[in-house]
């Protein structure tokens, strides 16, 4: 604990003032940024049936366009994580938000597949620091018993953004009869939120004007105990086995998630014969279920840990169950012919898949504090490599087979890797002890 924060902590211990709630408002902003991230990211997927006709794109070329975002997104995860550790998450995440909003507006001016691809590469580069910044903010702002909720509050913004993005983008296209207007509105809204985020976010609770002594003591008090335990029980770097499991598991999870984000709307059109309005509302229901699953996982994990269960056991069990349930759903879906039942199965899939939000609790548990941003960046890089591959592989499978059965089988295999990677992770001693 620094000398600058020790008097505040002491004052809080001796007083009775209620804690301010700035830390949760910080994560409310992170939640909003993640939601906007997914609105902008998935806009192309919603508009793709329209854009493909305008630009005369084959399924393979559609896959390349949907993949282009992840080329730069993956390449900048590790450098982004290092920059976050070096300069702090506030600068990185707010600057990135404004920049990706500008790239989204530029996409509205695309004249063909090549110019649209370039804006997607720019969008991916700008969005790269967001999730590693969230992991760093979690370590800086939340007490250890709150980080499960913090992780899922951050990550649940993703399915919520995809849910509302489906409705908003589809509605804007229908109202203005233009996908370009939809992209322009989404991009300008993102720029505005980035400016607001800069004004409120801080890297350190001790320098935020809204944090009172009681809240700082709550954050620093629990964290001091963890840091003392880390000095004895946490290795100087993450174990290779754990890093490998983290990468394999996250990549398996991400390939399913990004596969559904990029090709899900086209699946609803081609395999289930939905129109644009039905796509918007179905996407809303499916991904809103993901938000519910993410929040359920976070609050359940924190409740179990508070009751004395070891963090390692809780996270490993919930993540493994997430993978198994997702795998089973992809085996069931091809057998379902009724469109409403298919939406129900996909909704259940996303509910369990987004228990995987707990992965964002793991960098702070497995790695020393000064490498949390880097480890989060490496983990997200693995997911982004999956994001590069899955749209192209899916497009190639469709062009070869002409049907979605093989695609769903491929997603089931990805779920198997999600389970395998999770089970391989070896947690440090402090995470395996019951409280």
Tens of pLDDT, residue by residue over 252-264, are 999 999 999 888 8
Question: Residue 48 falls within a domain, yes or no?
Answer: yes
Q: How many domains does the chain have?
A: 1
Confidence at residue 433, expressed as pLDDT on a 0 to 100 scale:
53
Q: What is the pTM of this model?
A: 0.74
Q: What is the pLDDT of residues 156-192, one digit of tens each?
A: 888 888 888 888 998 999 999 999 999 999 999 999 9
For residues 393 and 388, give the distance between their C-alpha atoms in angstroms, rounded to a whole number: 9
Question: What CATH number is given to the structural domain containing 108?
Answer: 1.20.1250.20
Residue 220: pLDDT above 50? yes
- DSSP result, 115-143: HHHHHHHHHHHHHTTHHHHHHHHHHHHS-
Report yes or no on 283 lying in a domain.
Answer: yes
Q: What is the pLDDT of residues 229-250, one digit of tens each?
A: 444 444 556 788 889 999 999 9
Determine the longest span between alpha carbons in the chain, in angstroms. Answer: 70
- pLDDT tens for 53-73 read 899 988 888 888 988 998 998
Q: Is residue 8 part of a domain?
A: no
* 1 inside domain: no
Q: Is residue 82 part of a domain?
A: yes
Q: Which of the 8 DSSP states describes residue 76?
A: T
Q: What is the mean pLDDT of the chain?
A: 86
Write the CA distances from 270 to 49, 66, 127, 263, 407, integer angstroms: 10, 17, 30, 10, 13
Percent of the chain residues topping a pLDDT of 90: 46
Residue 40 lies in a domain: yes
Residue 14, in any domain of the structure: no
Range of 252's domain? 19-432
pLDDT reported for residue 1: 45
Cα–Cα distance, 297 to 301 (Å, whole number): 6
Residue 225 within any structural domain of the chain: yes
């Amino acid at each position: 604990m620094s000398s600058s924060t020790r008097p505040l902590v002491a004052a809080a211990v001796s007083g009775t003032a209620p804690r301010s709630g700035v830390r949760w408002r910080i994560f409310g902003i992170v939640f909003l940024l993640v939601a906007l991230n997914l609105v902008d990211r998935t806009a192309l997927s919603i508009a793709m049936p329209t854009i493909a006709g305008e630009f005369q794109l084959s399924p393979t070329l559609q896959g390349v366009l949907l993949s282009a975002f992840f080329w730069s997104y993956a390449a900048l995860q590790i450098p982004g994580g290092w920059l976050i550790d070096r300069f702090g998450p506030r600068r990185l995440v707010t600057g990135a938000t404004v920049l990706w909003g500008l790239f989204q507006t530029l996409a509205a001016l695309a004249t063909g597949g090549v110019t649209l691809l370039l804006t997607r590469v720019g969008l991916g580069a700008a969005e790269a620091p967001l999730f590693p910044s969230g992991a760093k903010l979690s370590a800086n702002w939340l007490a250890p018993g709150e980080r499960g909720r913090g992780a899922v509050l951050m990550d649940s913004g993703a399915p919520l953004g995809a849910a509302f993005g489906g409705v908003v983008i589809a509605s804007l296209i229908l109202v203005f009869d233009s996908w370009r207007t939809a992209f322009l509105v989404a991009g300008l809204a993102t720029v505005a939120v980035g400016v607001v985020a800069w004004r409120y976010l801080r890297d350190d609770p001790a320098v935020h004007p809204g944090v009172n002594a009681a809240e700082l003591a709550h954050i620093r008090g629990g964290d001091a105990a963890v840091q003392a335990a880390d000095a004895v029980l946490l290795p100087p770097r993450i174990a290779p086995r754990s890093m490998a499991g983290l990468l394999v598991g996250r990549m398996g999870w991400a390939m399913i998630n990004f596969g559904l984000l990029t090709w899900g709307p086209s699946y609803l059109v081609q395999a289930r014969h939905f129109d644009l309005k039905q796509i918007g509302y179905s996407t809303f229901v499916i991904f809103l279920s993901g938000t519910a699953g993410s929040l359920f996982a976070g609050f359940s994990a924190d409740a179990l840990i508070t009751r004395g269960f070891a963090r390692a056991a809780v996270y490993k069990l919930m993540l493994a169950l997430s993978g198994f349930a997702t795998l089973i759903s992809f085996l069931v879906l091809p057998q379902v012919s009724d469109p409403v039942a298919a939406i129900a199965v996909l909704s259940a899939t996303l509910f369990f898949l987004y228990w995987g939000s707990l992965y964002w609790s793991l960098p702070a548990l497995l790695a020393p504090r000064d490498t949390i941003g880097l480890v989060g960046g490496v983990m997200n890089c693995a997911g982004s490599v999956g994001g590069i591959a899955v749209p192209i592989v899916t497009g190639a499978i469709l062009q070869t087979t002409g049907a979605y059965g093989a695609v769903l089988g491929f997603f089931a295999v990805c779920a198997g890797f999600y389970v395998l990677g999770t089970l391989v992770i070896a947690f440090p001693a402090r995470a395996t002890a019951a409280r």
